[in-house]
Chains A and B, each alone.
Chain A
Amino acid sequence: MSIKSLLQVREVSIEFRTRMGPVKVADHISFEIKSGETLCLLGESGCGKSVIALSILGLLPENTVVTGEILYRGKDLLSMSTKERRKTRGREIAMIFEQPMSCLNPVMKIGEQIAETLRANYGTGNREARKEAERRMDEVGIPSRRFFDFPHELSGGMQQRVMIAMALACNPNLLIADEPTTALDLTVQRQILDLLRDLKDRYGASLLIITHDLGVAAEMSDAVGVMYAGSLMEYSPVHEFFQCPGHPYSNALLNVISGRELRPIPGNVPNLTELPPGCPFHLRCDQAEAICRIKRPDPVYNGHRMERCHFARYDQSRKTNQSFQA
């Protein structure tokens, strides 16, 4: 293990026990985040990207079975006791959710909510916690007169800023942001992303962004992981990903909006309860052959890149993706 690696997810599989039988929502996922690095997990709805985030924090419901290893600074989070695990949450790893309104306490003033994070984690005194909360609010761009506002009095962008202030209150080393800007307007999205990047750089934290927006990945990440139907299809440094996507799914995804015309991917995302045998993407893949319908591809590694495809080869002559128009 390299020293710089902050989080290593190794062969993690997640299964939901449902009345209809077990459903595998994540299948042997492996990736790592170095300290100070931003990783984007890209994928369409239901591909298992949020579940991965929740498993890192240990917030999955009772009926889930998680196997594999999630190493945080070399220690396996999955084998920790509840008490130890609790200590990592907030202080070491914090999370921002898509819908800030449903995560904030509606009957508590926002300044108090930020201060409460400090009191709960470090037992900070009231006065000191409030002072620190005010400083944090200033840092994320909320005017201090908003300290006594309730969440519903704030706009969506401001609510998301409160979430960020709360998540950063205890200086976590890893910040997980699950679709942090999906619910926001375009101009506000830009501001929140700028803020996240700015704060990440200032504190040297690592960032794991879960998103379905290719633009967010291009803008924010150092590395990109593409998920499809519970599998990690590709893992690449961001520049290589956007210039020369490896997996046919990545390629198709980028192609949808890259040209002058829309080029949709035919078919639908498969239902996780009725996954086809073989490669999960073969039904929509234009390069699929007989083997794709039978055998699930193993990951193929090449330098920093990983690709889960039978025809994976890092051929430099492969048609590079034309660069995008602004």
Chain B
Amino acid sequence: MHDMIKAEKLTKVFRPEGFRLFNRTKPVTVVDKVSFSIAAGECFGLIGESGCGKSTMGRILLKLTEPTSGNVFFNGANLEDLSLHEIKTLRPRMQMVYQDADNSLDPRHSVYRILEEPLRLKGLQKSERHNRIRRIISRVNIGTELLLRHSHELSGGQRQRVGIARVLLQNPDFIVADEPAASLDLSVQAQMLQLLDTTKKTRGTALLYISHNLRMVRFMSQRMAVMYLGRFIETGITESIFQNPLHPYTRMLFDSLLCMDPRKRRTGKPNVTGESPDPGFVPPGCAFHPRCPLRVPLCERKKPLLRQINGRQVACHRVWGPASVAIPNNVQIKEKENLHE
């Protein structure tokens, strides 16, 4: 299968706006040289704590935010090289499901009109528009009686369904789902995700699923990446990461996952430490080192790069080779050894 979307060394730096004299904020790098690709019919899960740059990442892929450097290829075409007109014709093919359905629906328009708008822009006849909307609402389980309502008259789940229906109407090749169900109740959340999953399977859509819910990422994605302060720190096949997380941060994340079995309740000292990171103050060296249980002096100086380990990529000085959990603390690591730096 070919790559539907490909990111090459994407970087995004937010610079403070306004008058310099009074503005002492430093530029903030929210995405730092990230490369990956998503094939048609594949779901790529992106996980990380708030502020790690995962949402910005999604927006860059859709060209809703311009990257500071790096390239995005959609179906082989570099988005940078395309004219504004060409981008506009591509837009329907790459769509986004927003986290906040309340704010992404026009409050003055009825559900019907919200759904109709993209079809009208396509230049479809009225009867054709009507037919398509008919078909889509039965697929996403919106009752006909809702079509004339406005967004404030809908429940959260219904609103999110309208948001998804609007995306699916355009038969996109690539969907970014940014926490599409985070604000919804569990029983309804699962409905939304199932809908996206079916679309992916039946239409061969590429899906970027951004979330901080580990369980849902496991259900949804085939490959995934863990992001920490703008960088991928571990990426690979979802199932293998879940079975054997290598990076100490990934392990910390899985440790903090609440087990659904009260018999397996954890007792004793917590092994999860530190605050969620602030992208304004990225520590030197490995960004994770202040919270890392395995850190050595090297981690404070050198940024670890992604290395191939066990069919997976991990960015950590302390993780080596397939069986390695970590090198014990008393072993000195010579910097020379770290060839990949």
Contacts and interface: CB of A to CB of B under 8 A. Distances in A.
A220 to B, nearest CB: 9
Contacts of A190: 255-256, 258, 270, 272
A261 interface: yes
B191 A264 contact: yes
Interface string B186-208: 11111101100100000000000
A268 B273 CA distance: 38
A246 B31 CA distance: 47
A215 interface: yes
A65 interface: no
Interface in B145-202: 155-158, 185-191, 193-194, 197
Contact of A191 (B219, B254, B265, B270): B270
B258 A219 contact: yes
B261 A264 contact: no
A149 to B, nearest CB: 14
Contacts of A157: 275-276
A214 interface: yes
B260 A214 contact: yes
Given A185-B49, A265-B187, A324 B256 contact: no
B253 A187 contact: yes
Interface residues on A, range: 35 or more
Contacts of A214: 186, 260
A232 to B, nearest CB: 17
A212 B158 contact: no
Interface residues of B, number: 42
B256 A187 contact: yes
B252 to A, nearest CB: 6
Given A187-B252, A194-B270, A258-B260, A268 B188 contact: yes
Contact of A257 (B49, B215, B263): B215
B262 A256 contact: no
A170 interface: no
A187 B260 contact: no
A220 B193 CA distance: 28
Contact of A324 (B187, B193, B261): B261
A156 B277 CA distance: 11
B212 interface: yes
B214 interface: yes
B110 interface: no
A215 B252 CA distance: 17
A283 interface: no
Nearest to A242: B262
A326 B186 CA distance: 18
Nearest to B255: A190
A266 B188 CA distance: 8
B257 interface: yes
B259 interface: yes
B273 to A, nearest CB: 7
A156 B50 CA distance: 11
A17 interface: no
Contacts of A45: 156, 185
B264 interface: yes
A242 B261 contact: yes
A262 interface: yes
Contact of B258 (A215, A263, A266): A215
B206 to A, nearest CB: 20
B185 A326 contact: no
B187 A253 contact: yes
Interface string A204-230: 000000001111101101000000000
A158 B276 CA distance: 10
Given A190-B272, A268-B157, A253 B261 contact: no
Given A189-B256, A242-B260, 14 more contacts: A158-B275, A186-B49, A186-B253, A190-B270, A193-B258, A218-B262, A219-B259, A242-B262, A256-B190, A264-B190, A268-B188, A269-B157, A269-B188, A326-B264
17 contacts: A44-B188, A155-B278, A186-B49, A187-B256, A187-B274, A190-B270, A214-B186, A215-B259, A218-B260, A219-B258, A238-B262, A253-B187, A257-B190, A264-B194, A265-B190, A269-B157, A269-B187
Interface of B: 49-50, 155-158, 185-191, 193-194, 197, 212, 214-215, 219, 252-266, 270, 272-276, 278
Interface of A: 44-45, 155-158, 185-191, 193-194, 212-216, 218-219, 221, 238-239, 242, 252-254, 256-258, 261-266, 268-269, 271, 284, 323-324, 326
